[in-house]
Amino acid sequence: MEFLVDMVTTVPEGITAETVADTKRREAERAAELAAQGRLLRLWKPPEAPGEWRTLGLYDAADEDELQQVLASMPLHKWMAVTITPFTPHPSDPGRG
């Protein structure tokens, strides 16, 4: 099942620049692992508000519980507000073939 995940990341006050940089590096590594596993299908950067980090991701998981486990494995997750939209196939989807 595919899910669109809207992730808004807010770094709490008092977090050092070194910690942010290390966390972002580990996040990129984890995203690459999830992509290699076929869990993370796509990522987009939509327009952002000043000071906001926002990402849209298309994920594949058996169900929302499994998706929650995948998202929790991401280093930035502790600083994210996440909105999940599950997708089901549309009967006229040209990619269903």
CATH number for the segment(s) 2-87: 3.30.70.1060
pLDDT of residue 85: 98
Tally of CB atoms within 10 A around 17: 8
- Give the pLDDT confidence of 39-74 residue by residue, as tens digits: 999 999 998 877 789 999 999 999 999 999 999 999
Q: Domain coordinates of the chain in residue numbers?
A: 2-87
- Give the pLDDT confidence of 17-40 residue by residue, as tens digits: 999 999 999 999 999 999 999 999
CB 45 within 8 A of CB 55: yes
Dihedral angle of Cα 45, 46, 52, 58, to the nearest 10 degrees:
-60
**3 state SS of 86:** strand
